[in-house]
Amino acid sequence: MIGQHQPGANAYRSGPVLMTIEASHNGQRIDNFLLTALKGVPKSHIYRLLRKGQIRVNKGRIKPLYRLKTGDIVRIPPLKLPQPRDEQRPPSGLCARLQDAVLLEDDDLLILNKPAGIAVHGGSGIPFGVIETLRYLRPDCPELALVHRLDRQTSGCLLLAKQRPVLLQLHELLRSGSMTKHYDTLLKGRWQGGEQSVEINLQKNRQLSGERMVQVDKEGQHARSLFSPRQRFDHCSLMDVRIDTGRMHQIRVHAAHIGHPVAGDEKYGDFEFNRLMRLQGLKRMFLHARCVEFTLTDSGRRIAIEAPLDPDLQKVLDALVSKEAG
């Protein structure tokens, strides 16, 4: 963990604390380290302390992007919580939904079939996301962390690591393309031909409204998606999409760019197509992380897990099949 000191906001009420960084945190950004170590302290307050130089490493000021090294001494100043921890409990209904969504859990991993409509982390008016809720439900897992993200309206396989060494392994598998991820999505239009690879660079931008958007940009990050038809209908197609990279909104932007936007996508989609799909019973974006496969490098353990399609999306497919049959 963290030298001889256990993390937790309550320990830092009266005076400064020095924490020695162990090898398991070597290379971790100081801001991410503190967000886990100082549970209960608001993110904005942690960044304020970093900007003002009140959190120091080896007696010196550091920036939020500083990467820790084994043996670093981190000084935490006295802290005060803005509210009692009893007021920071996630809603019982959210806790129950995430408990029921667990597909696999062991000493290393926790894999969910994330329900649509739940953000992976809090912020922007959302007090509790998946990670905050699961950290509350798993107090014996102080290093629990998201391996990757899913959009709020996307359902399906979501990976979390319980230990930092496992997190680093999984991040390396993602970077090297050694983790296979497949999605189910319903796209506008009848797909012509078979498998199609879309390899287009993407760039994140922030609009004046503060909304985050992703655009096709040759100067952006490399992104590759492999689209394969599973079932064709008159005006739409059920597709399997395998992604070799994990860029923000990747499938949605790639699909829209090739003229087949995702059904129900209000940001990059087609307004009239979305209206027609609502008549078929679609109430949210049709994008589901169906399965994930990878091999842990340290143990050679193979993981292959599938998240069943949500009943609300299956009903839409059933309605489309019935309409074509009729």
Domain boundary among 161, 188, 218: 161
Regarding whether 317 and 180 lie in a shared domain, the answer is: yes
Q: What is the CATH number of the domain that holds 65?
A: 3.10.290.10
CA–CA dist 167, 173 (Å, integer): 10
pLDDT at 10: 45
Amino acid of residue 46:
I
Regarding whether 150 and 275 lie in a shared domain, the answer is: no
Question: What CA–CA distances, in Å, run from 322 to 184, 312, 326?
Answer: 20, 16, 6
CA–CA dist 35, 42 (Å, integer): 8
Regarding whether 102 and 71 lie in a shared domain, the answer is: no
Which residues pair with residue 240 across a beta bridge?
184, 228
Regarding whether 311 and 244 lie in a shared domain, the answer is: yes
Regarding whether 318 and 182 lie in a shared domain, the answer is: yes
Regarding whether 155 and 187 lie in a shared domain, the answer is: no
Regarding whether 192 and 154 lie in a shared domain, the answer is: no
Residue 37 lies inside a defined structural domain of this protein: yes
How high is the mean pLDDT of the chain? 88
Amino acid of residue 162:
K
Amino acid of residue 9:
A
Average pLDDT over residues 171-200: 94
Domain boundary among 105, 135, 161: 161
Residue 278 lies inside a defined structural domain of this protein: yes
- For residue 69, give its domain range: 9-76
- Residues serving a catalytic function are 151
Regarding whether 65 and 42 lie in a shared domain, the answer is: yes
pLDDT at 230: 96
Q: What is the CATH number of the domain that holds 133?
A: 3.30.70
pLDDT tier, 66 (very low <50, low <70, confident <90, very high otherwise):
very high
> Residue 164: which H helix or E strand, with range?
helix 164-176
pLDDT at 32: 85
pLDDT at 81: 54
Regarding whether 216 and 315 lie in a shared domain, the answer is: yes
pLDDT at 3: 43
Residue 295 lies inside a defined structural domain of this protein: yes
> Using one digit for the tens of pLDDT, what is the confidence trace for 213-237?
898 988 889 999 999 999 999 999 9
> Using one digit for the tens of pLDDT, what is the confidence trace for 113-145?
999 999 998 876 778 899 999 999 998 888 899
By the 8 A CB rule, do 162 and 110 touch? yes
